[in-house]
Amino acid sequence: MTITISIDCMGGDHGPAVTIPAALSFLQHYPESELILVGLEDVVRAELRKCKAEHNPRLSVVHASEMVEMDDPLEVALRKKKDSSMRVAIELVKDGKAAACVSAGNTGALMAISRYVLKTMPGVDRPAICSMLPNQKGTPTYMLDLGANVDCEPHHLHQFAIMGAVLVSALEGKDKPSIGLLNVGTEDIKGNEVVKATAKLLQDDHARGKLNFYGNVEGNDIFKGTTDIVVCDGFVGNVTLKAAEGIGRLVKHTLTKEFKRSPLTMLAALLGRGALKRFGDTFNPSRYNGGSLLGLRGLVIKSHGGADAVAFEWAIKRSFDAAKYNVQAQLATMIAELMPSTAPGDQ
Amino acid sequence: MTITISIDCMGGDHGPAVTIPAALSFLQHYPESELILVGLEDVVRAELRKCKAEHNPRLSVVHASEMVEMDDPLEVALRKKKDSSMRVAIELVKDGKAAACVSAGNTGALMAISRYVLKTMPGVDRPAICSMLPNQKGTPTYMLDLGANVDCEPHHLHQFAIMGAVLVSALEGKDKPSIGLLNVGTEDIKGNEVVKATAKLLQDDHARGKLNFYGNVEGNDIFKGTTDIVVCDGFVGNVTLKAAEGIGRLVKHTLTKEFKRSPLTMLAALLGRGALKRFGDTFNPSRYNGGSLLGLRGLVIKSHGGADAVAFEWAIKRSFDAAKYNVQAQLATMIAELMPSTAPGDQ
């Protein structure tokens, strides 16, 4: 079965110079895929010519006359730029022409336009962004929200937990994945009022056998792999994600400097290059690129704005997998079952 | 000039087994110091005997009959345990018998008791915890708040920025250190309402030449060293700090595993052991242990609860330096000058 993905080619720090080579590489790796490239047609076709890929039958181009800039206020992105590449790519999902959409554009705009065009699922107040981080167990830790909602109430965090559980069930084939609530300590007394109230909601779900709530987790637990899922508001999640990337770069910088210090350490680096490469691969942020916007009536995947072609291709793969494993239908079913507002009989 | 530090020997995950060896090692390294060990006298003296250090003239023991447990509710720590080692150690600062106090106990309790016993400085609403993180420039990034205030208003973050600037000026000898406001993006439109309002306050200070406000910074900027100081609320700060520690452990775990994989990589590790050791030292969380509680009428240093003796000794050093460089007096002077509430003529 062919799966079609729409791509906002103009989004991100690098635009078509990154998104189009990534799309072409993805097409080669995934023969069951088709891609719709959305953007300024001249620019997109010029980049395709540059890549000698003008005539690929699994690839089509849809023109969009505008683009959302990284610093566009939400109102401009949403109300003024009605023919932006981001919006057109999302509309293709709404119209059923694409199974999912990928964009590296402004997160706030992507979420706002997605909500406007696709609408949220019944029972969901606010969609969230969920992505993966590496951990000591070698399995990914899924974390949400990573930046869509900078101010959250307990019922939002509660919904994030449910959506995260559904995503991990679908993508990892795990029954009842464990959920941790990110806090400043593991004890019940720790945290702000929002987190404490969220813990009560999740404890109730756990007691009723609906969710596998582990309890509070701390920042270090993300990378220990204490739980399959870590739930937090979008401010904390975004800062933590970017801090993790920053440490990754600091580690690379320091390792390189230390191994270049003398002929002996350079020889060590040469002999240990396999170990160093595998080490680097574990922390390569490209591998973890592609956050799922969960809770919408359609699949939207957000790539890091600064993603290179390798990283952007991972985001496309993420959207392909989500479509293939039918995350959307599973979300709808499980949300209808789990969300209190749509299942009052559960209370 | 001799500087006396009081130590809450019972605090932290390991209590006297860590705090007392750390204290003894510190005394050896800092001949101009004296220490007051506070705790259950029998337990403290037994540990001193074990370390063969019962008769050190620069060391005294003060009995405290209670101890604050990690999961004690604030009310219990503050109102019921009036003879806790934590409280007695802080009272020694209040009474002028110690220049600073160090504790690895419950952060919330330490802050609450410090505020109750010492009171806050005029012009400061809420004391904050400030500590150091490594960055690519090789200079530390000072970050606050790291966990004292899980819910913050703009004027709190504003005060944190002022206090951080004073601390860095004093300890690093830097005139007008740069201040970054932790956010989910660098653009002015990003962030929640609290952060946006804080940015306005800091922009005003910058325009008046009072503070060196760089603007918004993101999680990765902490480890880039974009600014000398990063300001955030205690929830975000605590999660980020612990996430950084978690990644540190993941890096160590992965490097060790990869270099132990084959005889060749083991040889590489042997030849490169100098590089690997220096790399490890850069990220050793022990080196960064010791958060300053800023904004109190007395110096209090918070150690990580899980600190080992090496890390706890760093926290004692931090308190010694803060006393030596007269951070407290400089804070009082600069806060009186900078805080709007105590200098209405500045508005």
Angle between helices A273-283 and B263-271 (to 10 degrees): 90
Domain membership flag for residue A74: yes
Residue B89 shares a structural domain with residue B186: no
pLDDT surpassing 80 at residue A21: yes
Residue A107 shares a structural domain with residue A172: no
The separation between the first and the last C-alpha atoms of chain B, rounded to the nearest angstrom, is: 40
Among B140, B122, B126, B136, which residue's Cα sits nearest to residue B331?
Answer: B122
SS3 A288: helix
Last residue of a domain, one of B263, B285, B307: B285
Quote the CA–CA distance of B141 and B163 in Å, as a whole number: 14
Residue B206 shares a structural domain with residue B310: no
Percent of chain B, pLDDT > 70? 97
**pLDDT, average across residues B253-263:** 87
How does pLDDT run across A37-58, given as a tens digit for each residue?
A: 999 999 999 999 999 998 899 9
Q: What tokens appear for B134 in the block?
A: 């490594």
How does pLDDT run across B118-163, given as a tens digit for each residue?
A: 999 988 999 999 999 989 998 899 999 998 888 899 999 999 999 9
**pLDDT, average across residues B89-98:** 98
Q: Which residues are CB-contacts of B158 (< 8 A; sequence separation ≥ 6)? A: B198, B201, B202, B205
Q: Which residues of A touch B280 (CB under 8 A)?
A: none
Instruction: Find the closest chain B residue to A147 by CA distance.
Output: B184
Quote the CA–CA distance of B282 and A251 in Å, as a whole number: 9
Quote the CA–CA distance of B267 and B240 in Å, as a whole number: 36
Tell me the residue type at B291: G
Answer whether the bond into residue A145 is a cis peptide, omega within 30°. Answer: yes
Last residue of a domain, one of A228, A259, A285: A285
Residue A115 shares a structural domain with residue A135: no
Residue A65 shares a structural domain with residue A115: yes
CATH of the domain at B10: 3.40.718.10
In chain A, how many domains are there? 2
How does pLDDT run across A292-347, given as a tens digit for each residue?
A: 999 999 999 999 888 999 999 999 999 999 999 889 988 888 788 776 554 333 33
Give the residue from B69, B136, B235 with the most A CB atoms within 10 Å of its CB, the best one to mutate: B235
CB contact under 8 A, A274 and B264: yes
Nearest-CA distance from B87 to chain A in Å?
20
In contact, A184 and B129? CB cutoff 8 Å: no
Domain membership flag for residue B153: yes
Q: What tokens appear for A107 in the block?
A: 């997160």
Element at A292 (helix H, strand E): strand A291-294
Give the residue from B150, B181, B183 with the most A CB atoms within 10 Å of its CB, the best one to mutate: B150
Domain membership flag for residue A112: yes
CB contact under 8 A, A187 and B70: yes
Residue B116 shares a structural domain with residue B140: no
**pLDDT, average across residues A77-82:** 92
CB contact under 8 A, A189 and B71: yes
pLDDT of residue A343: 38
Percent of chain B, pLDDT > 90? 65
Quote the CA–CA distance of A222 and A98 in Å, as a whole number: 33
Q: Which domain holds residue A225?
A: 131-285
Domain membership flag for residue B334: no
Quote the CA–CA distance of B133 and B221 in Å, as a whole number: 11
Quote the CA–CA distance of B288 and B282 in Å, as a whole number: 10
Among B222, B233, B220, B223, which residue's Cα sits nearest to residue B129?
Answer: B233
Quote the CA–CA distance of A283 and A223 in Å, as a whole number: 11
Q: Which residues of A touch B192 (CB under 8 A)?
A: 150-151, 235
Backbone Cα Rg of chain A: 21
Q: Which residues of A touch B267 (CB under 8 A)?
A: 271
How far from B237 is each of A224, B132, B232, CA to CA, in Å? 19, 11, 6
Pairing of strands A291-294, A128-133: antiparallel
Quote the CA–CA distance of B289 and B295 in Å, as a whole number: 19
How does pLDDT run across B167-202, given as a tens digit for each residue?
A: 998 888 888 999 999 999 888 878 889 999 999 999
Residue A164 shares a structural domain with residue A272: yes
Residue A71 shares a structural domain with residue A146: no
Residue B7 shares a structural domain with residue B149: no
Residue A207 shares a structural domain with residue A191: yes
Quote the CA–CA distance of B102 and A206 in Å, as a whole number: 40
Among A210, A140, A131, A139, which residue's Cα sits nearest to residue A175?
Answer: A210
How does pLDDT run across A110-140, given as a tens digit for each residue?
A: 999 999 999 999 889 999 999 999 899 988 9
Quote the CA–CA distance of B29 and A337 in Å, as a whole number: 64
CB contact under 8 A, A269 and B269: no
Q: Confidence band (pLDDT; 50, 70, 90) for B343?
A: very low
How does pLDDT run across A162-178, given as a tens digit for each residue?
A: 999 999 988 888 889 99
How far from A60 is each of A33, A44, A97, A316, B13, CA to CA, in Å? 12, 10, 12, 16, 61
pLDDT of residue A340: 59
Q: Confidence band (pLDDT; 50, 70, 90) for A20?
A: very high
Alpha helices in chain A (DSSP H): 16-29, 41-50, 74-75, 85-94, 107-118, 154-172, 193-207, 219-224, 234-259, 263-271, 273-283, 309-324, 327-338
Instruction: Find the closest chain A residue to B75 by CA distance.
Output: A189
Q: What tokens appear for A342 in the block?
A: 């749509």
Give the residue from A150, A230, A252, A262 with the most B CB atoms within 10 Å of its CB, the best one to mutate: A150
pLDDT of residue B311: 93
CB contact under 8 A, B246 and A222: yes
Instruction: Find the closest chain A residue to B270 by CA distance.
Output: A268
Q: What is the mean pLDDT of chain B?
A: 91
CB contact under 8 A, B279 and A135: no
pLDDT surpassing 70 at residue A22: yes
CA angle centred on A205, ends A203 and A207, rounded to 5°: 70
Look at the block and give the residue holding tokens 């239908």. A329
Q: Which residues of A touch B259 (CB under 8 A)?
A: 272, 275
Residue A11 shares a structural domain with residue A84: yes
Percent of chain A, pLDDT > 70? 97
CA angle centred on A189, ends A183 and A190, rounded to 5°: 25
pLDDT of residue B88: 98
Cβ contacts from A onto B, under 8 A: 201
Residue A29: what are its φ and ψ, rounded to 5°?
-75, -25
Residue A89: what are its φ and ψ, rounded to 5°?
-60, -40
Q: Which residues of B touch A74 (CB under 8 A)?
A: 189
Q: What tokens appear for A55 in the block?
A: 């005539």
Quote the CA–CA distance of A232 and B235 in Å, as a whole number: 11
Quote the CA–CA distance of A286 and A310 in Å, as a whole number: 6
Quote the CA–CA distance of A91 and A114 in Å, as a whole number: 9
Domain membership flag for residue B224: yes
What DSSP state is assigned to residue A296? Answer: B
Look at the block and give the residue holding tokens 């997109």. A44
Q: Confidence band (pLDDT; 50, 70, 90) for B341?
A: low
Quote the CA–CA distance of A172 and A175 in Å, as a whole number: 9
User: Where are any strands of DSSP class E within chain B?
Assistant: 3-8, 33-39, 59-63, 100-103, 128-133, 141-144, 178-182, 212-217, 229-231, 291-294, 299-302
pLDDT surpassing 80 at residue B340: no
pLDDT of residue B342: 40
More confident residue, A258 or B283: A258
Residue B319: what are its φ and ψ, rounded to 5°?
-70, -35
More confident residue, B107 or B51: B51
Residue B62 shares a structural domain with residue B132: no
Domain membership flag for residue B338: no
Nearest-CA distance from B291 to chain A in Å?
15
Last residue of a domain, one of B262, B285, B308: B285
Domain membership flag for residue A191: yes
Least confident window among A118-127, A182-191, B310-319: A182-191
CB contact under 8 A, A239 and B236: yes
Domain membership flag for residue A320: yes
